[in-house]
Structure 1
Amino acid sequence: MLPETINPNLSLLDSDNQQVNLTRWMHQCELINSYYNANTVFIFQKTSAGFEIIVSAITETPQFTAGTLYPAELELFKQIQNSQPDGLYQNLGSFMLDDLPRDFDGIQHILSRPIAWPDGSQFGALCVLNPHMADPLANAAMLEPFQILLQQELSLLCQNHRIESLSMRDQETGMLNHYGFLMMAPRQLNLGRRFGAHAGIIFFELLSPDNTPIPLEDNHHRLLGKLIQDTIRTADVAAHYNTTQFVVLAFVDGERDIQHIMKRVEKQLEQQNHQLKLDASYSFFTPESSAKLAPMMELARGKLDSMQPPKPEVEDTPVKPAIDSS
């Protein structure tokens, strides 16, 4: 399976995938184009919008350039993508003129190799237009090294996403950790503001009956983490911030909803384990607010009882001895 953070239906051109070097992909297309003395070479990806050209060799005409989108119903690309791993050599004369876009005018043959994601699902294909070959089947094997290289880069992309995902998760609760929250929350906050949502930062901390922080056991972590995740909505972001504290970025209709979330978690915790006490604090900001996430987090966290500076001990004032008037 692909990592949860990878959407195979999203174009590589629209995603921030630094592990995939599209410049190198373009250079590969240039090498293949030179070897086959072809009209052009390109790589397409099947996305939710259709078949999109990701990279291509440089040509004089503005055709098959990166970002060009073809409809998902294009039968030619369907056959190419779903072909056997050793690819296809097709004569476009078998297609009706109306079945192909105008970009394919003058293109007689296509040599192609499908490209797959690491889980075996189809990514797209590598296509060579009008290759000059004496023996198509023998010369087609020259595409295999390029096919392997491209699939290795997709595997590296998935592996990096898995490692990054693990580094953002807390092993005990399965929630985001401190690093993961700082990575995910700003993006979600900007999205919420764009849609006019109010937001609040909530901090939770488990306390012992005498209101002092306690070293949590694994079952305490899991219990509070589960209660928080069961209470918040899908769009909200929750994390196990540190040993005793949890943080939530919640999108609400008003400030009162933030207080309801805090009370609901506290009530459920009391029902599950009456020996544990919950301290909670929050900060609230509207869509019009320009406040950044970090200072709002510090504001909310600073209101927790455990974050208050210790009160100085008041020394007993010595009582002066009474004066005996006699």
Structure 2
Amino acid sequence: MAAINIKAYLQLTRPANIITAIADIWAGFAVSGAAALLLSQNTEIGNAYVLPLIWLSLSTIGLYGGGVAFNDVFDAKLDAIERPERPIPSGKVKKSNAIWMATLLIALGVLAAFQVNLWSGFIALAVGLLAVLYDAWGKHQAIFGPINMGLCRAGNLLLGISVIPELLPDFWALGLIPLAYVSAITMISRGEVHGKNKNALIGGLVIYILIIASLLFIAFMEGNAGWMVIPFVCLFAYMILPPLIKAMRLQQPQLIGKSVKAAVISLIILNASLAASFSGWWVGLCILILLPISLRLAKIFAVT
């Protein structure tokens, strides 16, 4: 029984998704240039960024895990009807225990970020508040809901960049990419239970194409051998476009769910593309290593 309960509590945190959140941090870390310093021959400078990377990775684990756990808390009544197999409606996890766990995880996530610097701490606090706002209210708003969720991911990328806070004014606009992408995923996911959301699927496809174009533009604008980023972007397109196009054609809930799952996991590839653009393909490859880990966890734990 204990082992089953542990798995149920882990399910509340969506482990496969947490890996994608860690990829956000690592991408931001790469954008800031800290990854290049960490891998440089100057070990004294590089070592100074090891602990901040660990703290920020722990921070996003807490923020994301707590945020999605609160999602199940607020959805408990609806899940009892539509998804009774989830941990809370199935009785595997008490709602009160889920609330305590989610609160503790977010609090630890914020505290971990404050160990890096004040900017990191305040960004983490904002991400945590935005996550709870989405769970409690934002998800029910047709327009603000997807933006709300997108802001959480944008903040997560900026959290990684905040390891060198002076660079936040220079790179804040990069947050628009995960904002748009996750907004599109959130919009598409609304047909996951009942299907028949063709307009949302078409809108998602348009946003996906714009994001792919943006990644290629950034790769060549940064001047770090942009052609080396093309394989990352092609893999990203291969992962997200075919499932979405198939879902558009048939509009079945199962296919929409598969499209959403592929898009969430592909956040790792998006982050790898950004990292490769700013710090080189080898850094992008380090982030891409997270992909098989997330895929493996997705076979054990639900992604949505």
TM-score (norm 1): 0.23
Pick the structure with greater CA Rg.
Answer: 1
Which has the larger share of strand? 1
Which has the larger share of helix? 2
TM-score (norm 2): 0.25
Greater RCO between the two (CA within 8 Å, min separation 6)?
2
